Chain A
Amino acid sequence: MPRTHITTVINGDETEFLTEDSTSLLNALRDEVGLTGAKEGCGTGDCGACSILVDDRVNCACLMFAPEADGTVIVTVEGLADSGELHPLQQCFLEGAALQCGICTPGFLMAAKALLDKNPDPTETEIRYALAGNLCRCTGYDKIIRAVQEAAREMRGQ
């Protein structure tokens, strides 16, 4: 079967890859591009482990067909740190012990980034609802919510 040629910008770099049309963007990123930071927890949009930013919006990479990525700008967890310096969310997740096993972490970081980009000063309830599409089975969410609150404070310069 002939494969489709896709051109995107991923984490700041123009990136090309070949894919079958039925392949999910998640599998293309992981298998073809070699970026395994986004995880598959379900493959059906239910867990958020595959969350990435597509044209500045948070998406489940498992629900996108790889060809849909053509011409888009994608950010994955690998692109969150800025030339070696961790993003405040990453730093706050570390310092606040907001991960146990860490499989959900890439997805949470991307969803939290999308939230803070839109709403720099969210309430606890807003954070909880904005992250409801990301499942974490280890932490009970407590430390994740606190880490996002802390990162928001830092990003507001408080």
Chain B
Amino acid sequence: MAITEENPGYKWVGTRPVRPDGVEKVTGKARFGADLILPGMLHGKVVRSPHAHARIVSIDTSAAESMEGVKAVITGADFPDLAANGAHPSEIDVANNTIARDKVLYEGHVVAAVAAITREQAEAAAKAVTVTYEVLPHVLTVDEAMADDAPLLHDAMITKGVDPAPEEPSNIASKILHERGDLDQGFGEADSVVEREFTTKPVHQGYIEPHAAVADANTDGRAHIWCSSQGHFQMRAYTATVLGVSPGTLKVTAAEIGGGFGGKTVIYLEPLAVRLSQRAGRPVKLVMDRDEVFRATGPTSGTRIKVKMGVSKDGKITAAEVWMAYEAGAYAGSPVGAAGMTAIACYDIPNFVVEGYDVVCNKPRVAAYRAPGAPMAAFAVESVLDELARNIEMDPIDIRLANAAVEGTQASYGPKFPRIGFVETLEAIKEHPNYTADLGPNQGRGVAAGFWFNAGMMSSATVHINENGTATVVTGSPDIGGSRQSMALMAAEELGIPYESIKPVVADTETVGFNDVTGGSRVTLATGAAVVDACRLIVEDLRGRAAKTWDVEVDQVEWVDGQAQHVDGAQPPLSLNDLAAKSGRTGGPISANASLNSRGVGAGFSTQLCDVEVDPETGVTKVVRYLTAQDAGRAISPDYVEGQMQGGVVQGIGWALNEEYIHDTEGVMENPSFLDYRIPVASDLPMIDCAIVEVPNPAHPYGVRGVGEVGIVPPMAAVGNAIHDAVDVRMTELPMSPIKVLEALNENDG
């Protein structure tokens, strides 16, 4: 179902053809990160810390080095000391997270790596590296880390964003603050006020493909890296930094990527693989085991969030006070900043204070995860709003409509919204049959909404017209969920040739201009805009060539349906095919580049409706019906828009019900497997109904907003609100596991 404001009569945009890279992916030919095998390639293995916090006293690699088949062993000492080189603190953090120097800051932190002829030899050698640690006291949660006498991860960490700056170091990396109006006055005007405290656990992106990288270093200092990432230009930059070399010495080829959700925008293995390859003089492959993925790659933050909100009888939110602390893991950089900006961004609230803290602790460094920071804040805010609606006996959609941000609303984080589609998502839910479907015993229904900025950033594209009039569209944005299809659809629309005549390609760092990461829901928007720009340059060029052929002015030539037409029909049309065949006589090969730093990002909103059934005797919650309405701006590729919406929702359902990092008291992760870290399986779920809302983004040639992220923002609150509706308990802790639901039910009874 799509609500289309106007129908521009697109021929390709908005259709559902088979994706260009599909056949390779259903026949097993597509090459993912771990699939590359090079002649003479060695297998690498990483040595990791068993301690959550410890000083490295010494590392003895001699036994490993002398083992059969072992060709290289490296430690932190094999990498440049960036601090001594005056690098930026964030670069030093990246380097130290890749391989520890003096201290390990979490269980799973890399301390050494080996390369050997066989996998088995590498594993044996990794076990033979002896590391002597001096174990230090650790902190695992924001509460522990923020306590007065907490052990420090970084001796020199002075909280940023506090004026005057504190004199003493702490585990608080920074503070953020957004304020408007007068809280006291706002709460004074409220007829109902609710104040609640929420906690959430770290959760992992859970991509099915573990991180993998192959590096082949040459004696001239150059190296070629193949890796599965969300941005091979970014991998090149980070790897160059950690190795202390110029990015130009590294060539990075993007393997097909088996999921990322933000978690593959950072480096882990690439610099290690390059260094091992340099030491061994042979290509080296490094692939993580699943438990390494859990222990050492980016989950998103565990949090503690307090929300107080007030509403008047007519449903207007009069004031909101939000306090939040986000775990960053071992190094500064939790998404609390984005959390602060998004927490109440759906609503027009006159009085608010949003305060947040970025807190380091002895867990793996967090990485981006779909709408980073927003889902936890939305869980808190949308749960409180649900309670407020109940208190004043107002429909949950109506209370949101009463406060919804619209075009012209001053967003809580600063700017005024241009045309946005939040209201339309709320209406789409209300009009859907699910909204009034019958509920059975122990079933309940919940609503929640979410906001995400979406991103723009930098992209490049090159379009080549082949001699038979087909086109190759080259970008540098790894295709993580069907973006090749979107590129091809937009190019087909622009060039007026069939979708099947277009071959979209993801090129390496030496073959196409710079592209930022595939993240922030930006690829269809920004890389898509670069493709559109390049296609328009091609069309200009083609019109010129037709004009030359006909000996008329360019303005006499129009480009329609893939052919040059004379405005008066004075000449027989020239198809792209004709022009391509004659390119040698009309100016040479037909090709164009476009690069841009995208502006005109279009904010995304999602409203979701969840029906659950709770077993009151065991606390087990089953999602029985689910509907998500999301403003896509324009769904270039509806199949993959729905895919993003459904995927985001299901990750959110996992986060809501079962997913969590469990650590023992020593800071060792207890559930680093897919058996114990429970992402949803097919039998846990119903179909996920989608309502694509299309309120075009005025700043994009096709109205695209980006759809990858906002879908994960509402589910936790939607599920929690549905549980409340079903069995009358208000869940304030994630995950809302059977154990917690039963505890809450017991408390109600007792």
Contacts and interface: CB of A to CB of B under 8 A. Distances in A.
Given A41-B208, A140-B647, A141-B685, A99 B25 contact: yes
Contacts of B120: 20, 22-23
A43 interface: yes
Interface stretch (B28-36, B185-193, B699-707): B28-36
Interface in A79-138: 80-81, 86, 90, 93-95, 97, 99-106, 109, 125, 127-129, 131-138
Given A42-B674, A101-B480, A139-B647, A94 B26 contact: yes
A16 interface: no
Contacts of A137: 205-208, 259, 261, 647, 651, 679
A119 B633 CA distance: 42
B209 A103 contact: yes
A90 B26 contact: yes
A39 B258 CA distance: 10
Interface in B618-669: 639-640, 642-644, 646-651
A132 B681 contact: yes
A136 B688 CA distance: 14
B27 interface: yes
A144 interface: yes
A143 B651 contact: no
A94 B682 CA distance: 19
B290 A102 contact: no
Contacts of A47: 208, 290, 674
B108 interface: no
Interface in B289-314: 289-290
Contacts of A43: 289-290
Contacts of A142: 642, 646, 685, 687-688
Given A143-B646, A145-B687, A135 B259 contact: no
Contacts of A30: 34-35
Contact of B683 (A31, A36, A40, A129): A129
Contact of B208 (A23, A49, A129): A49
B90 interface: no
Interface in B477-510: 480-482
B37 interface: yes
A77 B27 contact: yes
B378 to A, nearest CB: 19
B209 A101 contact: yes
Interface in A1-26: 20, 22-23
A140 B651 CA distance: 8
Given A94-B23, A97-B639, A103 B682 contact: no
A44 B651 CA distance: 22
Nearest to B34: A40
A86 B643 contact: no
A82 B19 CA distance: 21
A140 B690 CA distance: 12
B147 interface: no
Contact of A38 (B28, B261, B481): B28
A59 interface: no
Interface residues of B, number: 60
Contacts of A39: 32, 34, 208-209, 258
B643 A97 contact: yes
A35 B28 contact: yes
B210 interface: yes
A25 to B, nearest CB: 14
- The binding surface of chain B is classed by DSSP as loop
B290 A42 contact: yes
Given A100-B643, A140-B650, A20 B118 contact: yes
Sort chain A's interface into a size bin. 35 or more
Interface in B60-83: none
Given A39-B258, A138-B259, A104 B208 contact: yes
A46 B673 contact: yes
A76 B290 contact: no
A140 B653 CA distance: 10
Q: Of residues A30, A37, A78, which shows the largest number of chain B Cβ atoms within 10 Å of its Cβ?
A: A37
B257 interface: yes
Nearest to B260: A101
Q: Of residues B19, B480, B647, which shows the largest number of chain A Cβ atoms within 10 Å of its Cβ?
A: B647
A140 to B, nearest CB: 3
A30 B36 CA distance: 10
Given A37-B27, A40-B34, A94-B18, A141 B682 contact: yes
Nearest to A35: B28
Q: Of residues B19, B21, B25, B32, which shows the largest number of chain A Cβ atoms within 10 Å of its Cβ?
A: B25
A117 B384 CA distance: 50
A34 interface: yes
A56 B284 CA distance: 36
A128 B37 CA distance: 35
Q: Of residues A34, A100, A104, A136, which shows the largest number of chain B Cβ atoms within 10 Å of its Cβ?
A: A100
Given A38-B28, A39-B258, A135 B685 contact: no
A132 B209 CA distance: 18
A46 B678 CA distance: 10
Q: Of residues B210, B260, B640, B683, which shows the largest number of chain A Cβ atoms within 10 Å of its Cβ?
A: B683
Contacts of B210: 40-41
Interface string B235-269: 00000000000000000000011111100000000
Contacts of B582: none
Given A42-B673, A136-B208, A145 B27 contact: no
A86 B208 contact: no
A86 B215 CA distance: 34
B416 interface: no
Nearest to A92: B26
A133 B259 CA distance: 18
B119 interface: yes
Contacts of A139: 643, 646-647, 650
A101 B209 CA distance: 9
A99 B673 contact: no
A116 B290 CA distance: 30
B166 interface: no
A90 B34 CA distance: 23
A128 B673 contact: no
Contacts of A135: 208, 674, 679, 681
A76 B28 CA distance: 9
B675 A100 contact: no
B16 interface: yes
B290 A44 contact: yes
Contacts of A31: 37, 119
Given A40-B210, A101-B258, A93 B26 contact: yes
Contact of B482 (A22, A97, A128): A97
Interface string A26-64: 010011001111111111111101000000000000000
20 contacts: A40-B287, A41-B258, A42-B290, A44-B290, A77-B27, A78-B29, A94-B22, A97-B16, A101-B209, A102-B25, A102-B30, A105-B25, A105-B26, A128-B683, A128-B685, A129-B682, A135-B674, A137-B206, A140-B643, A140-B648
Given A20-B118, A93-B22, A104-B258, 17 more contacts: A36-B37, A39-B209, A40-B34, A41-B258, A42-B673, A49-B208, A97-B639, A97-B643, A99-B22, A100-B640, A101-B208, A102-B21, A102-B258, A131-B682, A137-B205, A139-B643, A140-B646
Interface of B: 16, 18-19, 21-23, 25-32, 34-35, 37, 118-120, 205-210, 256-261, 287, 289-290, 480-482, 639-640, 642-644, 646-651, 673-675, 679-683, 685, 687-688
Q: Closest 5 CB pairs between A and B?
A: A37-B28, A103-B258, A140-B650, A102-B25, A140-B646
